[in-house]
């Protein structure tokens, strides 16, 4: 996302600009694989960009303007499909893709290809370890629910 302020004219970001940065990021985090880091241009280049006011906002964690500290809520967990995606053997289906898409939204590097193979099992095991769950690489009812309900770290 891009926010532009200058040395003259618009020198302080307004709420509409900040929301124009935050809302698409929130959408990308829900629907894709956007990460959880927001940086200013000067974090990678020797420049004054994005200006002191906008950069201070970035460094403060990009809080939502208008007193609403929380982004739109995540959708609730869909019902557990009632089967255990695991590998081996290869588990294939829409439920696998739903879980893979959620893990991508959480920032995990995983293809949402409907096939629960060794890569999906590896992500499940690392996720289970991160969340203090039993590490078995099987997406049971508890692992499924935690994939939607646990805070993203």
Q: What confidence score (pLDDT) does residue 59 get?
A: 75
Give phi and psi for 76, each to the nearest 5.
-65, 160
Structure tokens at 68: 């609403």
How many whole angstroms from its chain centre is CA 135? 22
pTM over 0.75: no
The answer to whether 62 and 38 have CB atoms below 8 angstroms apart is yes
107, with CB counted inside 10 A (0-12, 13-18, 19+), is middle
Domains in the chain, CATH or no CATH each: 1-73 (no CATH), 91-149 (1.10.101.10)
Q: Which long-range contacts (CB under 8 A, 24 or more apart) does 6-15 make?
A: 6/51, 7/51, 11/51, 11/53, 12/53, 12/54, 13/53, 13/54, 13/57, 15/65, 15/66
Q: What confidence score (pLDDT) does residue 63 get?
A: 79
Cis previous bond, 88, omega within 30: yes
Structure tokens at 66: 């208008």
Lowest mean pLDDT among 13-22, 29-38, 94-103, 106-115: 29-38
Write the pLDDT tens digit of every residue in 84-113. Answer: 999 999 999 999 999 999 999 999 999 999
Mean pLDDT in the chain?
83
Q: What is the rounded CA–CA span in Å between residue 85 and residue 130?
A: 19
Average pLDDT rounded to a whole number, residues 61-81: 72
Residue 1 has pLDDT above 60, yes or no: no
Q: What confidence score (pLDDT) does residue 70 get?
A: 55
């Amino acid at each position: 996302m891009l926010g532009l302020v200058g040395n003259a004219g618009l020198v302080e970001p307004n709420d509409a600009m900040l929301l124009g940065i935050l809302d698409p990021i929130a959408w990308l985090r829900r629907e894709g694989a956007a990460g959880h880091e927001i940086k200013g241009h000067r974090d990678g280049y020797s420049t004054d960009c994005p200006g002191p006011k906008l950069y201070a906002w970035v460094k403060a964690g990009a809080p939502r303007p208008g007193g609403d500290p929380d982004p739109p809520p995540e959708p609730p967990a869909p019902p557990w499909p009632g089967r255990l995606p695991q590998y081996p053997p290869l588990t294939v289906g829409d439920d696998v893709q739903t879980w893979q898409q959620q893990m991508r939204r959480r920032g995990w590097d995983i293809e949402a290809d409907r096939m629960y193979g060794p890569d999906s099992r590896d992500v499940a095991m690392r996720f289970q370890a991160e969340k203090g769950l039993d590490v078995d690489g099987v997406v049971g009812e508890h692992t499924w629910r935690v994939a939607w309900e646990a805070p993203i770290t």
